[in-house]
Amino acid sequence: MEIRVQEARFDAGAELTAFTAAAEGAGAVVSFTGITRDVTGGLRHMEIEHYPAMTERALADIRAEAIGRFGLADAWIIHRHGRLAPGETIMMVLTAARHRADAFAGAEFLMDYLKSRAPFWKKEVTDAGENWVASRDEDEDALRRW
Amino acid sequence: MEIRVQEARFDAGAELTAFTAAAEGAGAVVSFTGITRDVTGGLRHMEIEHYPAMTERALADIRAEAIGRFGLADAWIIHRHGRLAPGETIMMVLTAARHRADAFAGAEFLMDYLKSRAPFWKKEVTDAGENWVASRDEDEDALRRW
Amino acid sequence: MTLQVLYFAWVRERIGLGRETVETDAATVADLVEELKAREERYAAAFAQPGALRVALDQTLADFDAPLAGVREVAFFPPMTGG
Amino acid sequence: MTLQVLYFAWVRERIGLGRETVETDAATVADLVEELKAREERYAAAFAQPGALRVALDQTLADFDAPLAGVREVAFFPPMTGG
């Protein structure tokens, strides 16, 4: 349950419920959900490619690092690949800790690493054509704070 | 739906689902859930007292401030009062924004203000007796970063 | 002036009631606290360390030197522990 | 040495394939890139700005000056955009 890379949709609310039940004894649970946005107004769908042999390992490493660094009671990562319609949930991270500061920091750390260090690539298919989403300098900068 | 202060239990997963559906167009959704922890090992239950005439206004002010400051697409606050068993959900905040940094900052801001500026008081009823939870210096310090 | 005075959490428990009507000519919150302390031992105990308390005037947080003119409801309570 | 070489995202699209077996004596990733660029225009186009690319050796991120000795799988791709 800790790490899932899947093409199928998932129910973020149900995942939060399951995670919270599993993280018994933690006082603080944080979730982040990323959703396909139609920024330009013409998005038909998004395609997410990944590197299967590397993804699992990269996510396991990121998760272990987050748990160790922030003393998390638990952490889950769920990330989809394949074709996603606008408004669909792309991914989710969940963290549990005794105190809120660690749960928040753990989730932000996971997100910063997922953005720039997990082998996923997003392509937007719009009315005007296809384009690979460019990495953002802010995302690389965000890693430096950890 | 934005602010609810209630004695009844609520389903954090269902709230996340409803919030995400309502915050259409936002790319990032963050949730924080606070859960009654049995820190000492002898917790029977927790009692949360509040100041009804002030609570609604304080939460509305905190919510408006968070939305304005971080450009949130939406924010919800749900907080229980009355008697809570160990493991029950005390409260939840939800934030939605275009980008993850704002959704995270908005949720942390809401939590920091809820901890020290919303008129709730927690009492722990343990095998050894009753005691009012003391405010933590870290919680007061946390406010200074905003 | 007639004030509704509210007490919460351990302040309420020490004083033994959650709400009362107080007739007073106190100019500030601090003056009101002195009046209440002079009443009975349980008030003196509750207000022994005003620095440990917070006050709200008409449901808005205020300082102990705030004036009471025009105020209808004063609430005393320990630092909040929400979230 | 026989390497499995993988391409992802627009690198895959420019080169026109996702995976190939490469026989090479390249000592480092940078040497391998030079060999590939010399092959055909589509490789030269894909590797025109190596600074815009990332490389993983046996599924672990590496630098372009990393040695290839003992490596079985090399993957080239643009900066990742997960999350």
* DSSP annotation of A24: T
User: Comparing C-alpha atoms, which of C36, A82, C56 is closest to residue B61?
Assistant: C56
Gap from B95 CA to chain C (nearest CA, Å): 15
Work out the pLDDT band at B142, boundaries 50, 70, 90. confident
B120 vs C83: CB contact, 8 Å cut-off? Answer: yes
User: Taking the mean position of all CA atoms in its chain, how far away is CA C69?
Assistant: 15
pLDDT attached to residue A39: 74
C-alpha B114/C-alpha B43 separation (Å) is: 23
pLDDT attached to residue A38: 81
The secondary structure element, H or E, covering residue B12 is helix B12-22
- Give me the helix-helix angle, B52-70 and B100-117, nearest 10°: 150
Cβ-Cβ contacts under 8 Å, C60 against chain B: 54, 57
Query: Is pLDDT above 80 for B91?
Result: yes
**What is the tens place of the pLDDT at every residue in B6-57?**
999 999 999 999 999 999 889 999 999 999 988 777 899 999 999 999 999 9
CA dihedral D44, D48, D53, D55 (to 10 degrees): 40
Beta strands in B16-87 (DSSP E): 28-35, 43-50, 74-80, 82-84
C-alpha B126/C-alpha B104 separation (Å) is: 34
Work out the pLDDT band at B1, boundaries 50, 70, 90. low
Nearest CA in chain A to D55: A119
Structure tokens at A44: 């038909």
Cβ-Cβ contacts under 8 Å, A144 against chain B: none
**What is the tens place of the pLDDT at every residue in A7-30?**
999 999 999 999 999 998 899 999
Structure tokens at D17: 């394939």
C59 vs B122: CB contact, 8 Å cut-off? Answer: no
Q: What percent of chain B has pLDDT over 90?
A: 84
Tell me how many residue pairs between chain A and chain D have CB atoms under 8 A apart.
72
ipTM surpasses 0.90: yes
Amino acid type, B123: K
Looking at residues B97-121, what average pLDDT do you find? 96
pLDDT attached to residue A142: 86
Around Cβ B61, how many Cβ atoms within 10 Å? Answer: 14
User: Comparing C-alpha atoms, which of A24, A93, A115 is closest to residue B31?
Assistant: A93
Work out the pLDDT band at D50, boundaries 50, 70, 90. confident
The shortest CB-CB distance from A108 to any of B87, B98, B104 is to B104
Q: HEC profile for chain C? A: CEEEEEECHHHHHHHCCCEEEEECCCCEHHHHHHHHHHHCHHHHHHCCCHHHCEEEECCEEECCCCECCCCCEEEEECCCCCC
B87 vs A38: CB contact, 8 Å cut-off? Answer: no
pLDDT attached to residue B136: 86
**What is the tens place of the pLDDT at every residue in A120-143?**
999 999 999 999 999 988 888 888
D77 vs A121: CB contact, 8 Å cut-off? Answer: yes
Q: Residues 6 or more apart from B82 whose CB is under 8 A from it?
A: B7, B47, B48
pLDDT attached to residue A1: 63
Task: Please tell me if residue B10 touches chain A, with a CB cutoff of 8 Å.
Answer: no
Cβ-Cβ contacts under 8 Å, C61 against chain B: 117
Structure tokens at B12: 């954090």
Residues of chain C contacting B, Cβ within 8 Å: 6, 8-10, 12, 56, 59-61, 73, 75, 77-83
Looking at residues D2-13, what average pLDDT do you find? 98
The secondary structure element, H or E, covering residue A67 is helix A52-70
Work out the pLDDT band at C43, boundaries 50, 70, 90. very high
* DSSP annotation of A85: -
Q: What percent of chain B has pLDDT over 70?
A: 99
Q: Residues 6 or more apart from B144 whose CB is under 8 A from it?
A: none
Nearest CA in chain B to A29: B33
The shortest CB-CB distance from A111 to any of D6, D79, D83 is to D83
Backbone angles phi, psi at C11, to 5 degrees: -65, -45
First to last CA, chain B: 26
Cβ-Cβ contacts under 8 Å, A132 against chain D: 9-10, 78, 81
* DSSP annotation of B88: -
Gap from A120 CA to chain B (nearest CA, Å): 17
C-alpha D73/C-alpha A52 separation (Å) is: 13
Question: What's the mean per-residue pLDDT of chain D?
Answer: 96
Vertex D41, ends D39 and D45: CA angle to 5°? 115
The shortest CB-CB distance from D82 to any of A57, A118, A123 is to A118
User: Comparing C-alpha atoms, which of C65, C7, C3 is closest to residue C31?
Assistant: C65
C-alpha A88/C-alpha A109 separation (Å) is: 23
Looking at residues A41-65, what average pLDDT do you find? 95
Nearest CA in chain C to B133: C81
The shortest CB-CB distance from C80 to any of B34, B118, B123 is to B118
Nearest CA in chain B to C83: B115
DSSP secondary structure of A120-135: EEEEEEETTEEEEPPP
Gap from A110 CA to chain B (nearest CA, Å): 12
The shortest CB-CB distance from B120 to any of C6, C61, C81 is to C81
C-alpha D50/C-alpha D33 separation (Å) is: 8
Nearest CA in chain B to C81: B121
D59 within 8 A of A52, measured Cβ to Cβ: no
User: Comparing C-alpha atoms, which of B3, B5, B16, B10 is closest to residue B62?
Assistant: B3
Touching, D vs C (3+ Cβ pairs under 8 A): no
The shortest CB-CB distance from C79 to any of B53, B79, B135 is to B135
* DSSP annotation of D65: T
pLDDT attached to residue B62: 96
Query: Is pLDDT above 70 for A46?
Result: yes
